[in-house]
Amino acid sequence: MSRAEMQALGWDACDVVLVTGDAYIDHPSFGMALVGRLLEAHGFRVGIISQPDWQSADPFRALGRPRLYFGITAGNMDSMVNRYTSDRKIRSDDAYTPGALPDKRPDRAVTVYAQRAREAFPGVNVVIGSIEASLRRIAHYDYWSDKVRRSVLPDSKADILLFGNAERALVALTQRLAAGEAIDAIRDLRGTAFMVRPDWRPEGWVEVASTAIDRPGRIDSHPDPYAMEPVAAATKPAADGAQPIRIMPLAERVASRRAAREHTVVRLPAYEQVKDDAVLYAHASRVFHLESNPGNARAMVQRHGEGPGARDVWLNPPPVPLETVEMDFVYGLPYARQPHPAYGGARIPAWDMIKFSINIMRGCFGGCTFCSITEHEGRIIQSRSEASILREIEEIRDKSPDFKGHISDLGGPTANMYRMACKDPEIEHSCRRLSCVYPGICENLGTDHGPLIQLYRKARAIPGVKRITIGSGLRYDLAVRSPEYVKELVTHHVSGLLKIAPEHSEDGPLSKMMKPGMGAYEAFRVLFEKYSKEAGKKQHLVPYFIAAHPGTTDEDMLNLALWLKENDFRLDQVQTFLPTPMALATTMYHTRKNPLKKVSAESEAVETVRTGKLRKLHKAFLRWHDPDNWPILREGLMRMGRADLIGNGPGCLVPRHQPASAATPAHAGSRRRVEQAAPNGRSAPARRGSAPARDHLAKPAGPRGARSPKR
């Protein structure tokens, strides 16, 4: 991090200089540490510039000109999510900064840092990556400016963008640059995006328009080209005595189509088209997500600009998920597991939340539309080995002086998807479903919780480990398939409260979220309470909900408030939907169209709450018990024709008269008053490799742990 450290190592220059918007913490939960140690393990000299002052180029000259490239990242979170609330108000603190100080990173940090790096050393190679770059790799709706923005590539003027879990692409790119290859000649790495001339094509490739494979407006009897292939071979019945037509077996179809896909690029509508056309934007979003399976995804291209200056953003297919042995290697590197000494021991909230938790897997096949995990990590679960995880627990025990025996999490984006996968790799490679668990759990999905149960038992048997709690969010519709897992979890790994995320009670918004109905929640609640009682523990579920999600009406929020009142839930801090780049729910918010189906100008409009007053009303319904919310709730109920819910009777939601003081007693007399987010409404920090925490994904965070809780 300094010239003095370079001199102590005997370095005259760095091969790679990584720039991050976060404090530098040498722990695999933090992106710069993982990337830096990975490059170091392959023989490269890595410098890190942490939270530079972006007002000039001088801080970017601190370590000299890198021999190969600057690697630019905003940090573990998108900089706009990090700096602003869902109401577009600037935050008062930053969990990734020493002392939690705000304003240590700029808006759209990737673009600003990349431009400053170029200013510091004209002609230097610039590589961008991380969650911010990954989720802005094509034209996208930007909530903070309320408009469709270009890909981050033309704005940052970077040479190449690495998206998703990019370890393979990162190492390959660095090795090829070290061997003397020009960065603008490296065009074949999966998980990369770059700018090219409109007429550029690899030899032998063909282009197909996205509107030819998923036509906007063609909501009719034509077969959906994105429907999953049939699983078994069959013979099509003959007509009029003709010879029967043999349908190619799945494996043969997959092989033949895979060969064609590998040399096909799908042209998305241009930026200039999608920025002004809601139907084309929704169509492009739908195609983008349906081309996300590494087993069958094709390259995509999108024009930016018009006339002689037009350029294409080219996206190669997403990276192939890491194998277990590769995951073990990445997480087994020699991390110091501490913040850099330059911070002098200053408190970094993100570090406090994550230091005794362990990431056991990546990815999520839930497909929740408000979540960005699939766009970043993919839906295929990547799991570490049991031995690797147990070694990390022992390392924490042996090398962390303040470890008292409590492991705060064994999880990832979801607590209970460890080692789950499709039962047949060929089906997995050919499938285009956006979720393996919606509208129901796929019959081809393996849901065995046995490996996770065994891991829990071995982990808590390690000498020196007194307690292991699970902080990541639980996918309860999977958990109910394994009562043994629920019993293991409830008996040994819950400390009074367990956070799960129904997100809503009503079918309308749940269908737009791609979340299960409340029946799954109730089934899990029954098991949870049964096993808590058997263990002699008084424990409670903490449900998470989202206000103002696309597809949610005022009546939906009222019904949810009545459900909360009936079940005596009094939530302290709640989450309003935050439209984050490229999420399907963000497309619904921006276009009022549903990209889960083919779209047209005549498609059914998705109910979308956009005004500040209505968003506040929806949020107030989640805190129906708070006197500060009673005025806006009274006004809303009157407008909705539900004045019958205003009064002092047991069936009323809010009282008729406002108390003299709006302050609520500390516990409001409720045995089930629960906290809904981290202190001060802050999102919890994200793990490296997973998408960021609740505000970025519009999902829960907080005490569960410092990774994204989903599912």
Q: Are residues 260 and 170 in the same domain?
A: no
3-state secondary structure of 166: coil
- Same structural domain for residues 206 and 156? no
CA neighbor of 693 nearest in space, from 467, 437, 469, 501? 501
Find the CATH number of the domain harbouring 178.
3.40.50.280
Q: Do residues 615 and 89 touch, judged by C-beta distance below 8 A?
A: no
pLDDT at 141: 98
Listed as ranges, residues in the chain with pLDDT below 50 are 218-238, 243-248, 663-711
Residue 106 included in any domain: yes
Any domain includes 708: no
Instruction: Report pLDDT for 598.
Output: 87
Query: Hey, what are 311's tokens?
Result: 């350029």
C-alpha 491, offset from chain centre? 30
Please check if 422 is assigned to a binding site: no
Task: Answer whether the bond into residue 650 is a cis peptide, omega within 30°.
Answer: no
pLDDT for res 258: 62
Determine the Cα–Cα distance for residues 146 and 586; give it in Å rounded to an integer: 11
Task: For residues 546 and 677, state if they share a domain.
Answer: yes
Q: Does 361 share its domain with 394?
A: yes
Pair (147, 206) in one structural domain:
no
Q: Which residues contact 453 (CB under 8 A, 6 or more apart)?
A: 482, 484, 485, 488
Q: Residue 360's domain is classified under what CATH number?
A: 3.80.30.20
Q: What is the dihedral of CA 147, 150, 151, 152, to 10 degrees?
A: -90
Please state the domain count of the chain.
3
Look at residue 26 and tell me if it is in a domain: yes
Q: Which of 367, 385, 478 is nearest to 433 (CA)?
A: 367
Based on the fold, state whether residues 159 and 25 are members of the same structural domain: yes
Question: Same domain for 434 and 476?
Answer: yes
Q: Is 431 annotated as a binding residue?
A: no
Asked, for residue 402, whether it belongs to a domain, the answer is: yes
Distance of alpha carbon 472 from alpha carbon 52, whole angstroms: 32
Return mean pLDDT, the chain.
Answer: 88
Shared domain for 607 and 463, answered yes or no, is yes
Q: Are residues 587 and 604 part of one domain?
A: yes
Sorted by sequence, the CB contacts under 8 Å of residue 529 that are 6+ apart come out as none
pLDDT at residue 260, as a whole number: 64
549 within domain boundaries? yes
- Based on the domain organization, do 360 and 398 belong to the same domain? yes
- Residue 138 in any domain: the answer is yes
Q: Could you tell me the residue range of the domain that residue 252 belongs to?
A: 199-233+244-302
Look up residue 630 and give its amino acid. W
Kindly state the DSSP code that residue 134 receives in the 8-state scheme.
H
Question: Which pTM was predicted?
Answer: 0.88
- CA nearest to 288, candidates 684, 609, 588, 583: 583
pLDDT for position 132: 97
pLDDT at 711: 27
Q: Are residues 280 and 362 in the same domain?
A: no
Among 125, 158, 191, give the residue marking a domain's end: 191
- Please report whether residue 224 resides in a domain: yes
Judge if 185 and 204 occupy the same domain. no
Residue with tokens 């006004």: 635
| Residues 382 and 403 sit within 8 Å (Cβ to Cβ) | no
Q: Is residue 27 part of a domain?
A: yes
User: Can you give the pLDDT at residue 252?
Assistant: 59
